[in-house]
């Protein structure tokens, strides 16, 4: 019988059973509010603070540098708008944003542009890389913030962050790194990357939806942020609202397991991705991959099928779950801004599928995915470009 195949792990991942088990008691018996002074509250507070310390340790941060949020979108908004509000009275009004950032970075920046900030977009090469020379040229004495993601959600391309951070810092600018897609897929340390602000979202790495975090550097330099929400003064006044203990416990567990399994999962997923690509090439020799081959996330494969509309391909392979753009933007029928920034024509950008593999992906699923694709391609005659 035909089975659905999920190859959209960059959009979201399933919860690991161990994560569910770790979270369960904090929904049922240990339900206290971590801010309450009684024993129920203390029990929850201990779970939150132990989780915070473990998450910080796993990501090369100190516990005070981790602010829990509802996910990466909120963390990115807090970083960008929080910084802009704090430094609004200063002369630094220039923001440099990579053209291939996620909408959760581009849209808050676009909002600031309507509020008197000068927002400039950094170009990328055809391989999707922000060249350090391009950043060096764009930096100004008035640059407040540089925002460049670590790994791209559509292509998996990994940016040369340490070099870019050094340039931003030498110009006196802060550096925000959207690490949402990299966390759980490659080893990383915020302190080693030397970024000032970074973000994560649990549902991208086998944790629950609705929890993420913002990393805010505390020293050299200390990053000052203004809150976007006011209330009980939680999270050192930066993010008021009752902390969701079960989700925080789940985030910790998901990170612990995902990161511990990396040495085993990385080569396995790489081999499966190679098999998928080889199969695609055999059935559609015109197909090409987008983005630098290395460094790249091991699970991500962006493929353009020239002459074939991605949405037609998806319609003819209904049991294959892949993405045409990033999940959060594919509701809007516009060709990917990431691929367009890399120089793809509108037609080629609309002919692109993103395959993203995950820990549960098996060889049988890759075979099945290739069979679905072959059938879909057979029924679609390539049109002349
Ligand atoms: C690179 C990147 N940044 C930010 C986000 C937003 O994450 P969330 O949906 O958890 O807010 C995503 C999700 O697709 C992403 O891929």
What separation in Å is there between the alpha carbon of 209 and the centre of ligand 1? 11
Per-residue pLDDT band at 384 (split at 50, 70, 90): very low
| Mean pLDDT, rounded, of the chain | 95
Confidence of residue 314 (pLDDT cuts 50, 70, 90): very high
- What mean pLDDT is predicted for residues 136-142? 97
Residue nearest to atom 8 of ligand 1 (CA): 72
**What is the predicted pLDDT for the residue at 220?**
86
DSSP 155: T
Please tell me the predicted confidence (pLDDT) of residue 325. 64
Q: Is the Cβ–Cβ distance between 80 and 176 less than 8 Å? A: yes
What amino acid positions are annotated as catalytic residues? 328
Higher pLDDT, 87 or 384: 87
Q: Which is nearest to 153 in space by CA: 207, 204, 77?
A: 204
Confidence check: pLDDT of 186 > 80: yes
Give 193-223 pLDDT, tens digit per residue: 999 999 999 999 999 999 999 999 999 889 9
The span from the CA of 224 to the CA of 258, in Å, is 31
d(CA 217, ligand 1 centre) in Å: 21
- CA–CA separation, 141 vs 90, rounded Å? 12
Whether 329 is in the pocket of ligand 1, judged by its Cβ within 6 Å, is: no
Tokens of 90: 């200063």
pLDDT at 334 over 60: yes
Q: Which CATH class is domain 5-13+263-378?
A: alpha beta
pLDDT, one tens digit per residue, over 355-380 is 999 999 999 999 999 999 999 999 99
Place of tokens 């944790």: 207
Tokens of 349: 């950008």
Ligand 1 proximity of 179 Cβ (cutoff 6 Å): no
- DSSP string computed for 302-359: EEE-TTS-HHHHHHT-TTEE-BSS-TTTTTS-S--HHHHHTT--HHHHTTEEEEE--T
At 282-299, the pLDDT tens digits run: 999 999 999 998 899 999
pLDDT at 328 over 60: no
The pLDDT of residue 385 is above 70: no
| pLDDT value at residue 327 | 47
DSSP at 158: B
User: CB atoms < 10 A from the CB of 91, how many?
Assistant: 9
User: Which ligand 1 atom sits closest to the C-alpha of 201?
Assistant: 10
- Which residue among 74, 103, 106, 153 is best mutated to probe the pocket of ligand 1, counting the most ligand atoms within 8 A of its Cβ? 153
Tell whether ligand 1 has an atom less than 6 A from the beta carbon of residue 73.
Answer: yes
Is domain 17-255 annotated with CATH 3.40.640.10? yes
Predicted pLDDT of residue 382: 53
Report how far residue 203's alpha carbon sits from residue 269's, in angstroms, rounded to the nearest whole number: 19
Check residue 214 and give its pLDDT. 98
Please report the pLDDT score of residue 381 as a whole number.
65
Indicate whether residue 77 lines ligand 1 (CB < 6 A).
Answer: no
Query: In this predicted model, what pLDDT tens digit does every residue of 240-253 receive, in sequence order?
Result: 999 999 999 999 99
Confidence at residue 88, expressed as pLDDT on a 0 to 100 scale: 85
Mean pLDDT over 331-354 rounds to 92
The residue with greater pLDDT, 381 or 65, is: 65
- Centre of ligand 1 to C-alpha 384, Å, is 35
Contact 288, 303 (CB under 8 A): yes
pLDDT of 72 strictly over 60:
yes
The full set of domain ranges for the chain reads: 5-13+263-378, 17-255
pTM for this predicted structure:
0.96
* pLDDT value for 1: 61
Distance 371 CA to ligand 1 centre (A): 30
């Amino acid at each position: 019988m035909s089975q659905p195949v999920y190859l959209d792990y960059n959009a979201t991942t399933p919860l690991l059973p161990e994560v569910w088990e770790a979270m369960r008691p904090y929904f049922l018996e240990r339900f206290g509010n971590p801010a309450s002074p009684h024993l129920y509250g203390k029990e929850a507070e201990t779970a939150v603070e132990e989780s915070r310390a473990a998450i910080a340790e796993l990501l090369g941060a100190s516990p005070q540098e981790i602010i829990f949020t509802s996910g990466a979108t909120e963390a990115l908004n807090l970083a960008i708008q929080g910084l802009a509000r704090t430094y609004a009275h200063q002369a630094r009004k220039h923001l440099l944003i990579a053209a291939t950032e996620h909408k959760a970075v581009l849209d808050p920046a676009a909002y600031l542009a309507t509020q008197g900030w000068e927002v400039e977009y950094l170009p990328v090469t055809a391989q999707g890389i922000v060249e350090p020379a391009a950043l060096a040229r764009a930096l100004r004495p008035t640059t407040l913030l540089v925002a460049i993601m670590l790994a791209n959600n559509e292509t998996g391309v990994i940016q040369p962050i340490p070099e870019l951070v050094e340039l931003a810092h030498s110009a006196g600018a802060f550096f925000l790194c959207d690490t949402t897609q990299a966390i759980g897929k490659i080893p990383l340390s915020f302190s080693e990357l030397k970024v000032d602000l970074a973000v994560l979202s649990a549902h991208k790495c086998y944790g629950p939806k609705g929890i993420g975090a913002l990393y805010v550097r505390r020293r050299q330099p200390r990053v000052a942020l203004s809150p976007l929400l006011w209330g009980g003064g939680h999270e050192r006044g930066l993010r008021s609202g009752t902390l969701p203990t079960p989700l925080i416990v789940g985030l910790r567990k998901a990170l612990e397991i995902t990161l511990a399994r990396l040495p085993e999962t990385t080569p396995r997923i790489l081999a499966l991705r190679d098999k998928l690509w080889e199969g695609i090439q055999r059935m559609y020799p015109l197909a090409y991959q987008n983005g630098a081959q290395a460094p790249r996330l091991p699970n991500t494969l962006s493929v353009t099928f020239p002459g074939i509309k991605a949405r037609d391909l998806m319609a003819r392979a209904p049991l294959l779950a892949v993405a045409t753009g990033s999940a959060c933007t594919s509701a809007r029928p516009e060709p990917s801004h990431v691929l367009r920034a890399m120089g793809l024509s509108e037609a080629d950008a609309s002919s692109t599928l993103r395959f993203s593999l995950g820990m549960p992906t098996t060889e049988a699923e890759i075979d099945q995915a290739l069979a679905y694709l072959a059938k879909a391609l057979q029924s679609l005659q390539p049109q002349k470009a």
